Amino acid sequence: MSDTAPVFSHARSAALELPGAELTHPFGPAWDVWKVRGKVFALLTKEAGKPMVIVKSEPLTGETLRAEFPLITPGYHMNKKHWITLVDGLPANVIRELVTESYRLVVAQLPRHSRPIDPETFGRAKLREKTEE
């Protein structure tokens, strides 16, 4: 799927930086499905012409994010407790961090020998640097 919607651009850019991430199209060209070691961590598609990115989230984090950002909603066509949907209008850094967090959550469920990164530490240094500024 080729679209230049900001939510797509930021999500793709973040996914491309993640070790072992691969773009697949198991549901056809209308869905960009990002996987790590065969497990989905992000889906990009349009519903009624509206670009959206669906990512995994811890349940309490998802609730907090939905309360803080009205543009974050429960996961479209996914388990509403464990997935959230992002749309245009969200800050780029929020989209990028949520794609990375989704990746970490999925990697944490992989057997240790299959993990391309340590989900406990990957990306955390960047996050700490941002909060200390």
Q: What is the pLDDT of residues 87-116, one digit of tens each?
A: 999 999 999 999 999 999 999 999 999 999
pLDDT of residue 12: 97
Q: What is the DSSP string of 12-69?
A: HHHHHTSTTEEEE-TT-TT-EEEEETTEEEEEEEEETTEEEEEEE--HHHHHHHHHH-
Q: Is the pLDDT of residue 132 over 60?
A: no
CA distance linking residue 129 with residue 77, whole number of Å: 35
Question: 133 pLDDT exceeds 70?
Answer: no
Residues 6+ apart with CB under 8 A from 118: none
Bigger pLDDT: 120 vs 100: 100
State the architecture of 6-132 in CATH terms. Answer: Alpha-Beta Complex (3.90)
Q: How far apart are CA 92 and CA 88, in angstroms?
A: 9
Confidence (pLDDT) at 123: 74
Cβ neighbours of residue 92 under 8 Å, at least 6 residues apart? 6, 10
